[in-house]
Amino acid sequence: MATKGKERPDGLRQLKQDLKAGAPASLYLFYGEETYLRDYYLERLKTACVPAGMESFNVHRFSGKALDLQALSDAVDALPMMSPRTFVQVDDYDMFKAPEAQRNTMAAILADLPDYCTLVFVYDTVAYKPDARMKKLAGPIRERGREVAFPRQKQNDLTDWIGRRFRALGHDISTGDAQYLIFLCGDLMNGLIGEIAKIGAYAREKRVTRADIDAVAIPVLDAQVFRMTDALTKKDYDRTLSVLNDLLLMKQEPIMLLAVLGRHLRQLYSARVALESGKGSRWVQELWSMRSSYPADRLLEAARRHDLPWCRRAMARCAQTDLAMKSVTGADARDRLISLVLELAAGVPA
């Protein structure tokens, strides 16, 4: 998970320099949403510390949920065996929220890390939120540690990476279709890597097509709901109900589907406002913090099919349905969602 606050030094650049020099630091803190890159560099760091075959003697891993600080201290102090370093990994331990006695013990461990040990804290389900007021902890991290963030990748970097992955499989892909794949399957590498493998195995030609992607890729919920609202704006009501039925058969909660639908309708409204005021997809992209122009362009295309009053009424009906789902005792959320989609398909009367 990402950390808010003052921007820190580029920890990933420092990590890369450490690996290139073959000189790992004593302390790292890995955090961020892009777990694919995090795990990749975690493995590279481990390999740089401990030769293959020596892991059982020199690699120690602890869970933050039941962390025994004495056992951690023993692992940190243990001399490496037939290895230049030891490697100690602690998963999801929020040291800044630990009781004071534990914080003091952890601060003592961090302040006295031996030169032959690399200690890595990995934050996955727990957010990394350092507190500079806790100087005993923050001091060693600032002085000796590397805070390495792994955020979602920029769109250009991600499309380049997708291209490289497909080339490794003997295929290539256009920039537009790579952006479509990101839109369809999300922008996290861990989710994309499996989809790329499936598409690469399915595609018969060297150039991957959109048809290849649609044939085997599994869309994320946001993309599936977008497909439903896109079909609705095209007045393709059979397709609209087909997508909705598929989502319900997949046991998606109606209240969750409504929340995503509501967000899409608000985005559609903003796209219609952009058209009315002469603004383009860049304005929509920045308004909704979209990572590429692709979804913004799709929204503008859909917004051209409906006027501003329709978009406004659609948003209002979605909000009213949401309130009814949450407040009316015994209400059938599934039926309310279906009724709303049918109402939207019929034109949303004033």
Residue 277 burial class via C-beta count within 10 angstroms: exposed 0-12, middle 13-18, buried 19 and up? exposed
d(CA 53, CA 81): 11
> Per-residue pLDDT tens for 242-286?
999 999 998 899 999 999 999 999 999 999 999 999 999 999 999
Across residues 27-41, what is the average pLDDT? 96
> Per-residue pLDDT tens for 155-214?
899 999 999 999 999 999 999 999 999 999 999 999 999 999 999 999 999 999 999 999
Buried b or exposed e, range 325-350, using 16+ CB within 10 angstroms: beeeeeeebeebbbebbebbbeebee
pLDDT at 9: 62
Buried b or exposed e, range 90-116, using 16+ CB within 10 angstroms: bbbbebbebeeeebebbbebbeebeeb
Q: What is the DSSP letter of 288?
A: T
pLDDT band at 331 (very low <50, low <70, confident <90, very high): low
pLDDT band at 1 (very low <50, low <70, confident <90, very high): very low
Residue 330: pLDDT above 60? no
> Per-residue pLDDT tens for 289-318?
998 888 999 999 999 999 999 999 999 999
Q: How far is CA 208 from CA 26, 90, 156, 164, in A?
A: 44, 41, 19, 13
* Nearest of 60, 107, 106 to residue 79 by alpha carbon: 60
d(CA 298, CA 46): 43
Residue 106: pLDDT above 50? yes
Output the pTM of the full model: 0.82
Q: Give the bridge partners for 149, in sequence order.
A: 31
Set out the domains of the chain in order of their start, with CATH numbers. Answer: 11-149 (3.40.50.300), 155-216 (1.10.8.60), 221-346 (1.20.272.10)
Residues contacting residue 89 through CB under 8 Å, at least 6 positions apart: 42, 46, 59, 60, 61, 62, 120, 122
Six-digit token pair at 6? 């003052």
Q: Give the bridge partners for 58, in sequence order.
A: none
Looking only at Cα atoms, what is the longest distance across the chain? 77
Amino acid at 94: D
pLDDT at 4: 44
* Nearest of 160, 112, 171, 106 to residue 137 by alpha carbon: 106
What is the phi/psi pair of residue 234, to 5°? -85, 0
Residues contacting residue 72 through CB under 8 Å, at least 6 positions apart: 62, 88, 90, 109
* Nearest of 204, 346, 205, 325 to residue 259 by alpha carbon: 325
What percent of the chain shows pLDDT beyond 90? 85
